[in-house]
Amino acid sequence: MTAMPISVSIVEDNPGTRNNLVKLLGGEPQLRLLHAYASGEEAVRGIVSAQPPDVLVVDIKLPGMSGIECVAKLKETMPDLRVLILTTYQESDLIFNCLRAGANGYLLKDMPADELIQAIQQVHSGGAPMSMQIARKVVAYFHEIKKPQPDAARLTAREQEILELLAKGYLYKEIADKLGITLNTMKSHQHAIYEKLHVQSRTEATLKFLGQKLN
């Protein structure tokens, strides 16, 4: 028997990139392109109201709802949905926020077309494909979290709450608004967090905090 094509949908806001992906994936006989969405909101509405694809290919930086938020929202009701991140961003906090949200693979957009097709097939089969640069960051991260993280135990409940929101991708101003505190108070918490964790950036603080939680 001939295997059924893998159904795929795309979430990509850049029209040129979206059209290229439509041509590439739509012309691959082993795949069946369902939809190409221009925003996370559009994808959530469309996928929730219709049959979900076997694999969803998502960019991170989208207008309005981010790709991370889109994945997390869909995973709430479709935990078995297979998601492949396809982006230009290599920041560690974005990588791990995507994985925490439920992404199954993380690729950079400069990869060859045939490798993207293979990655979709791998995700559909239960794999977790990653670009080499991303895999190196993940390996380094898990080496790091094996080390004791006593500094995180010094954080207050509010500081831990702030780090939880940072790990979900919120900006400092958004966190201040969400918690009902001033931006100056938020900056004071930021300074205290950096000092207690012995870090110099949001990314370092988030990764160190997540490392302590995963141990």
Distance from C-alpha of 46 to C-alpha of 35, rounded to nearest angstrom:
9
Q: Is the pTM of this model over 0.85?
A: no
| Cβ contact 112:129 at 8 Å | no
Q: Are residues 100 and 159 in the same domain?
A: no
- 92: domain CATH number is 3.40.50.2300
- 192: domain CATH number is 1.10.10.10
- For residue 126, the 8-state DSSP code is T
Specify the pLDDT at position 212. Answer: 63
pLDDT grade for 29, boundaries at 50, 70 and 90: very high
Q: Are residues 99 and 32 in the same domain?
A: yes
Q: Domain for residue 62, yes or no?
A: yes
| Cβ contact 74:101 at 8 Å | no
Q: Are residues 137 and 161 in the same domain?
A: no
Name the domain boundary from 117, 142, 167. 142
Query: What is the rounded (10 degree) CA torsion for 77, 78, 79, 83?
Result: -130
Q: Are residues 13 and 66 in the same domain?
A: yes
- For residue 60, the 8-state DSSP code is S
| Helix/strand number for the chain, H first, E second | 10, 5
Residue 200 has pLDDT above 50, yes or no: yes
Distance from C-alpha of 101 to C-alpha of 69, rounded to nearest angstrom:
8
pLDDT in tens, 102-134: 899 999 998 889 999 999 999 998 888 888 888
Q: Which two tokens stand for residue 19?
A: 């059209």
The total number of structural domains that make up the chain: 2
Spell out the alpha helix ranges (H) of the chain.
15-26, 40-49, 67-77, 92-101, 113-124, 132-144, 157-167, 172-179, 183-197, 202-214
Q: Are residues 102 and 178 in the same domain?
A: no
Q: Domain for residue 205, yes or no?
A: yes
How many Å is the Cα radius of gyration of the chain?
19
Residue 33 has pLDDT above 90, yes or no: yes
Q: Which two tokens stand for residue 155?
A: 């954080």
Name the domain boundary from 113, 142, 171. 142
Q: Are residues 129 and 158 in the same domain?
A: no
Q: Domain for residue 1, yes or no?
A: no
Where in the sequence is the domain holding 84, given as residue range(s)?
6-142
Q: Which two tokens stand for residue 90?
A: 């290599």
Q: Are residues 136 and 156 in the same domain?
A: no
pLDDT grade for 207, boundaries at 50, 70 and 90: confident
Task: Tell me, rounded to whole angstroms, the distance of Cα 118 from its chain centroid.
Answer: 20
Q: Domain for residue 116, yes or no?
A: yes
Q: Are residues 158 and 131 in the same domain?
A: no
Q: Are residues 203 and 103 in the same domain?
A: no
Share of the chain above pLDDT 70, in %: 91
